[in-house]
């Protein structure tokens, strides 16, 4: 049997879950603003077993809000001592909602025409500050480390990854995924990579960290210029070092 996809889709009503529900979105915003204005409180009010049926969209938000929003750590509170998770400016909350609403995939210009252009413009602004002429955005440092080390393997044929003992686990993991050896270099009393202990880097990708996970230590970023086959700086949270 042949199916006329065009006519079929024309006669099938759109699923309302995928249409903008103004009242639902406004309720979500008022829950966010209301709960953030309250002192931190709330425990999750959820059944212990998987429910037979859903709660419904807005009732689910209302049920979750007191704990999920009210009980969340207030990263922007003046009394919050800095940690690697920074507070987010309100405009980023709005942009995250836009991004969720359109869910563009940067894979190809067909799937995300404007988002791809936006990415190229932003990379064009930033790349010259790093002496580069291109790049692309990734959603976190684990993927940034993997991508950079993949490039090192493909472009320079590196066989090992060298990083300090205090480097993030994702560096060692990327090396394992890419089939590269991993060598850890000792750190000094301030958790910075000991440059004199670098050894031979002629077939190595050297990963330097600008802001280690536990103490925010910054490795000597000029280490091994000209000696290593590839140099990569893992700078996941510049705010952490500020």
Ligand X SMILES: Cc1ncc(COP(=O)(O)O)c(C=O)c1O
Element (H, E) at 209: strand 204-209
Question: Per CB under 6 A, does 164 bind ligand X?
Answer: no
Q: Report, in Å, the least distance between residue 172 CB and ligand X.
A: 11
| Residues 221-240, mask of contacts with ligand X (x by CB under 6 A) | -------------x-x----
142 part of the interface to ligand X, by CB under 6 A: yes
Torsion of CA 124, 126, 127, 133, to 10 degrees: 20
Cα 189 to Cα 84, 86, 186, 215, distances in angstroms: 21, 26, 10, 11
**Alpha-carbon gap, residue 82 to 76, rounded angstroms:** 10
The Cβ of residue 22 has, within 10 Å, a number of other Cβ atoms equal to: 8
Q: Which stretch binds ligand X (CB under 6 A): 62-70, 193-201, 205-213, 216-224?
A: 205-213
Binding piece for ligand X, criterion CB under 6 A, among 24-32, 61-69, 134-142, 224-232: 134-142
CA 50-51-56 angle, 5° bins: 130
Q: Does 141 bind ligand X (CB under 6 A)?
A: yes
x/- map, 18-57, ligand X, by CB under 6 A: ----------------------------------------
How many angstroms separate the CA atoms of 80 and 71, rounded?
15
| Binding stretches for ligand X (CB under 6 A) | 84, 140-142, 168, 170, 209, 212-213, 234, 236
């Amino acid at each position: 049997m042949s199916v006329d996809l065009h006519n079929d889709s024309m006669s099938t009503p759109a699923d309302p879950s995928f249409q903008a529900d103004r009242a639902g979105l406004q309720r979500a915003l008022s829950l966010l603003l209301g709960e953030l204005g309250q002192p931190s409180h709330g425990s999750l009010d959820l059944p212990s077993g998987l429910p037979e049926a859903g709660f419904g969209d807005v009732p689910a938000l209302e049920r979750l809000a007191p704990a999920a929003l009210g009980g969340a750590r207030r990263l922007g509170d003046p009394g919050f001592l800095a940690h690697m998770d920074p507070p987010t400016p309100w405009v980023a909350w709005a942009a995250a909602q836009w991004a969720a609403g359109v869910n563009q995939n940067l894979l190809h210009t067909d799937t995300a025409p404007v988002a791809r252009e936006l990415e190229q413009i932003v990379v064009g602004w930033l790349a010259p500050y790093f002496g580069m002429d291109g790049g692309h955005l990734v959603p976190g440092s684990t993927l940034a480390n993997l991508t950079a080390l993949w490039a090192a393997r493909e472009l320079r044929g590196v066989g090992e990854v060298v990083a300090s003992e205090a480097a993030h686990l994702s560096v060692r993991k990327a090396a394992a995924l890419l089939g590269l050896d991993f060598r850890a270099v000792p750190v000094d009393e301030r958790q910075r990579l000991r440059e004199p202990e670098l050894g031979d880097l002629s077939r190595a990708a050297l990963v330097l960290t600008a802001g280690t996970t536990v103490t925010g230590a910054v490795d000597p970023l000029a280490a091994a210029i000209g000696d290593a086959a590839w140099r990569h700086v893992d700078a996941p949270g510049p705010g952490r070092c500020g």
